Structure 1
Amino acid sequence: MTGPRDLNAQIESLVNRLRRRQVVGSWSVSLETALLLRQVVSVARWNQVNVLINLVKDVGGKLVMAQPRELAVGNIVRRVLRLIRDVYNSEVSNSNTNLTSTSEEVEDDDKDYEDDNVIKSPPQKSKTYDLQSYSGPGSIISSSFFSSSASMINLLGDGSPTIISELQELINELENMYVNIADQAMEHIHSNEIIMTVGKSRTVEMFLKTAAKKRKFSIVVAETSPKYLGHEMALSLSQAGIDTTVISDSAIFAVMSRVNKVIMGTHAVLANGGLISVSGTQMVATAAKHHSTPVVVCTGLYKLSPLYPYDEDSFNDLVAPDPVMSFDEGELIDKVTILNPYYDYVSPELVSLFITNTGGHPPSYLYRLINENYDPEDTVI
């Protein structure tokens, strides 16, 4: 059985692996975070909801600080916090319903007793219990119990099994995420279409391969220099029997007029519908907008973040400039400053549709998905 020491070791291990970039990719860090938080809820000792929420926030804060630009870590922490709050609210609702039913039964019994007596006693006050003032010795009910749900003071009964069960459902959702998105491919890809994509995305890769089982279409892949992730994507698609063409980034605008739709992945989706995606995505989306070509983004809900892009550069990563200009060009390197951003910010006006594991949604619908999955109190961890 895992003890507190083992749990602390697991937390520190994941923090170190995130800091050293040994766990990369939104899906991988999300699954690791969800598994760790399930362990935290299982092992930690708590008898009040606010204690559990603070504990999850403390662990989540460490993970977020270890790799701030992996927004999926914070998203999973917020999902877990919302899940705990929902379980609490459900417990409170059920308890209030049971107490109300008990009070009504007591009143009905008193009324029947009075009707059966020939000589009726003088009128008495109703025996409905004043729950807010009832806090006798040994009672689990106190005035703090009836405070707002935001205070999260008490949890009636043992909510751990319910919370762990809900966490397991979240983990199952992450594990089946690619399949759920790929199953929608036939609704969005038609025969003889020319589709453009950019970079390498596992979600898009499975989406296109699933459609290729029944539809015949062509793929144009932008190479996304200087990482050239498009070459890996093109090789994988061609091995699956899909007609694939690789183009240089400079040819994107020229080829876009022949493209029927753009399908691409993303690193994160912000609250306004904007994307944090691989460098080069902004150019593809802008060219598609000019040619009125629809842009479809395949992404799981775990990438949806409640954060707004007040400062777009704060979500970006500057990687080593060596792929752009190597040290062999020593004379020139001393005279220039080279920035090699890993991500692009794509504004929501350039996106036509999001395909998630729960279905297709326009950018204007994202605010509702955020309200369903996150609590406003957890925006800042």
Structure 2
Amino acid sequence: MSAINAAKDKDLHILMDTFISKLKRKQIHGSYNVAIETAQLLVKVVSLTKWTSLEQLISSISLIGKRLVDAQPRAYTCGNVVRRVLALIRDELEDEEKTKGSTTESSNVGSSMFNLLTPAKTDAQNKNKSGINDQRAVIIQSIRDLVDEIRNVDQEIEGMLDDLVHDNETLLTPTPSSQTVLRFLKRARQKRKFKVMVTECFPNDTAVAHNFAKQLAEANIETIIVPDTSVFAVMAGVSKVIVGTRCVFANGGSVTESGVSTVVECAREHRTPVFAVTGLYKLSPCYPFNRESLIEFGNSGKVVKFQENTLVENAETANPLYDYVPPENIDIFITNVGGISPNFIYRIVLDNYKQEDIDL
């Protein structure tokens, strides 16, 4: 038995080290893929880890979650999924405590004055082992249900199309890398006829923007690529701005692709509504106290070529990969559980996370 447990521990360590290596090297792309991979890893953790109580399992997953978050702090959905799983386990723990309480009361009522009810140790151990196996199966099924929820996010969002997009509108999106936005627009075209403007997203996502526009054109959607510097000029003719997000914090602020903050500022100036399309798994219980730490910087050579010696030597060049968008610049978040105001995000967070798990 010890050899089997040692083999399981070794397999688990290999899985953990491999996943952490992928996170550090950014070999897992996109919030969706990170969330799915994390949930599948936790299924294996629950099944392979040797634990005798739910408290012990919670402690183990908390330590694993801390390692994952430390490996890649800006892979926000990784920490979100870990906290969601911990909340599921804590719900199971609460149910167990309620069941134990009711069982204790009934046994006290039925006990005799001579305390004759003394079950054998082996029976108690077998019962405890059976209970742990049942809990293990329930938790694994709960995590799989969470995976199904993440995979079906787009279908739930698409059910709100009739109220969001209308005929002959002009939509603008500054997040061509978002597959959720892409599927949202392609599905909307099946019921509505509209035009889409896509920002060029210089310098990081220019090729992605062109590919995004190509896919929309293939779906019979009239598409125009707009230079980033022309956003304010064209905003007067835009009906709605559709953006994707990487993470939504408890205060309603969000982390998105670079350049989105400027676009939503222009939209606010023109009184153009801004809709953020996101899944529930991207909602984080954390608050962005240090907003500068949320921004990651990439290769500055994409902004100014290193061959341009004069500029490089006399200028400090920065290439931010992400933007922080404050809650006042988003009108509504379109999620798989409906439309949510930025001011109401904290309420949804309280329903899906536990206070004890915010700081892993």
Counterpart in the other structure of 1:198 = 174
Classify the secondary structure of the residue corresponding to 2:237.
coil
Q: Distance in 1 between matches of 2:339 and 2:223?
A: 26
The one-letter code matched in structure 2 to 1:183 is: G
Q: Distance in 2 between matches of 1:249 and 1:155?
A: 61
Q: Choose from 188, 191, 201 the match for 2:164.
A: 188
Matched, 1:178 2:154: yes
Q: Distance in 2 between matches of 1:241 and 1:103?
A: 72
Q: Distance in 1 between matches of 2:173 and 2:256?
A: 12
Deviation of residue 97 (structure 1)? 3.4
Counterpart in the other structure of 1:348 = 327
Q: Distance in 2 between matches of 1:182 and 1:36?
A: 29
The one-letter code matched in structure 2 to 1:157 is: G
1:16-35 equivalences under 5 Å are 16-35=21-40
1:219-234 equivalences under 5 Å are 219-227=196-204, 228=206, 229-234=208-213
Q: Distance in 1 between matches of 2:13 and 2:22?
A: 14
Q: Distance in 1 between matches of 2:184 and 2:108?
A: 56
Deviation of residue 23 (structure 1)? 0.9
Deviation of residue 220 (structure 1)? 1.1
Q: Which has the higher helix share?
A: 2
Matched, 1:236 2:215: yes
Deviation of residue 331 (structure 1)? 2.5
Q: Distance in 2 between matches of 1:10 and 1:91?
A: 30
Classify the secondary structure of the residue corresponding to 1:277.
strand
- Classify 1:375/1:156 alpha carbon distance in 2 versus 1 (closer, same or farther; 3 Å): farther
Matched, 1:277 2:282: no
- How many pairs are equivalent? 345
**Ranges in structure 1 where 5+ consecutive residues have no aligned partner:** 111-126, 130-134, 142-153
Q: Choose from 74, 77, 81 the match for 1:72.
A: 77
1:248-327 equivalences under 5 Å are 248-327=227-306
**Ranges in structure 2 where 5+ consecutive residues have no aligned partner:** none
Deviation of residue 192 (structure 1)? 1.0
1:81-230 equivalences under 5 Å are 81-100=86-105, 106=110, 157-158=131-132, 159-200=135-176, 201-227=178-204, 228=206, 229-230=208-209
Greater mean alpha carbon deviation, residues 290-299 or residues 224-233: 224-233
TM-score with structure 2 setting the length: 0.90
Contact 2:304 2:311 in 1 (8 A): no
Deviation of residue 232 (structure 1)? 2.3
Larger radius of gyration: 1
Classify the secondary structure of the residue corresponding to 1:73.
helix
Deviation of residue 361 (structure 1)? 0.8
Deviation of residue 231 (structure 1)? 2.0
Deviation of residue 21 (structure 1)? 1.1
Q: Deviations over 1:354-375 (max 9, x none)?
A: 1111111111111111101111
Matched, 1:45 2:64: no
- Percent identity between the two aligned chains: 38
Classify the secondary structure of the residue corresponding to 2:131.
coil
Classify the secondary structure of the residue corresponding to 1:241.
coil
Classify the secondary structure of the residue corresponding to 1:3.
helix
Q: Distance in 1 between matches of 2:214 and 2:76?
A: 29
Contact 1:199 1:223 in 2 (8 A): no
Classify the secondary structure of the residue corresponding to 2:97.
helix
Q: Distance in 2 between matches of 1:357 and 1:274?
A: 18
Q: Deviations over 1:107-138 (max 9, x none)?
A: 9xx9xxxxxxxxxxxxxxxx9x9xxxxx9996
Q: Distance in 2 between matches of 1:97 and 1:167?
A: 27
Counterpart in the other structure of 1:368 = 347
Q: Deviations over 1:9-68 (max 9, x none)?
A: 011000001111111211111111100011000111111222111110111111111111
Contact 1:185 1:208 in 2 (8 A): no
The one-letter code matched in structure 2 to 1:205 is: L
Contact 2:172 2:240 in 1 (8 A): yes
The one-letter code matched in structure 1 to 2:131 is: G
Deviation of residue 328 (structure 1)? 1.6
- Classify 1:140/1:287 alpha carbon distance in 2 versus 1 (closer, same or farther; 3 Å): farther
